[in-house]
Structure 1
Amino acid sequence: MAAYPAWDPDGARAIVSRLAHLEGATLPILHALQEEFGHVDPQAVPLIAEALNLSRAEVHGTLTFYHDFKTTPQPARVIKLCRAEACQALGCEQVVETLAREHGIACDDHHRHDAVVETVYCLGNCALGPSALVDGELIGRVDADRIAGLCQGRTQ
């Protein structure tokens, strides 16, 4: 599980300055900020807009269009559970229902502080579904008990 430093406007400015020369720099800057801080604080919008001569609306639109960009600090562990058709055929919806019913864990509920289970559509591991991405590692044949254990900080 990644531990990120607190949002730092000076550190953010340094990242923006370092990448502003790139063609199409908005996405590389957003990715770098999220990689550094674990999220892109809304304070970054005017910094990026000014550096790239864009409107704040353009930067905000890019930030909010892509679901992987987060504007608030995230839980210590984010588990991405595939809910695409192949994983549905292999039982992912039963995993989701059991997580909610037996473990009190709802997919896409960002109110938990220790972990969150997010829905994604296709991790490219269809033959071993249901699949999940945990701390950057792809795992297959997950069930509700395994996901609940991962939410509680147990290893894969």
Structure 2
Amino acid sequence: MAKEKGRKLIAQNKKARHDYLVIDTYEAGLVLTGTEVKSLRQGRASLVDGFVQLTDGEAWLHNVHVPEYSQGTWTNHSARRKRKLLLHRAEIDKLVSKSGDTGHTIVPLALYFKDGRAKVEIALAKGKKEYDKRQALREKQDRRETDRAIAAVKRRQRGA
């Protein structure tokens, strides 16, 4: 069997980018059981309520929902158990120092397979205020409108 290459996305946390201002991103490995890997290979997971907690010099991923494997037996995993993240010591130390600041948190952005190994993209983030969210939404709509207007002008030029 050929080794998988590239990145296969399993789950994304789009709400995190809306609710938080992403300061820095990291890629971390995950410590998983066999049934968790099989469930992820079926493309089933949810990062919506997930967060990372740093305790005793280790990073732990909490509240990420990986549903039980359908063909699993008594060895099946619990869906919302905490999972250890594999990061370098320097990255953990940097996260500990930066996440101590007021309003900073660590959230998962994406869960994917990279060259056959399960990885999670985590971000050091700062919570947005309500007016920041509205401002970001307004900018996104304005950008979309300008892109549409430019595309319409180009279509008319090609037609003429």
**What TM-score, normalized by structure 1, do the two folds share?**
0.27
- Higher RCO by CA contacts (8 Å cutoff, separation 6 or greater): 2
From the two aligned structures, give the one with the greater strand fraction: 2
**What TM-score, normalized by structure 2, do the two folds share?**
0.26
From the two aligned structures, give the one with the greater helix fraction: 1
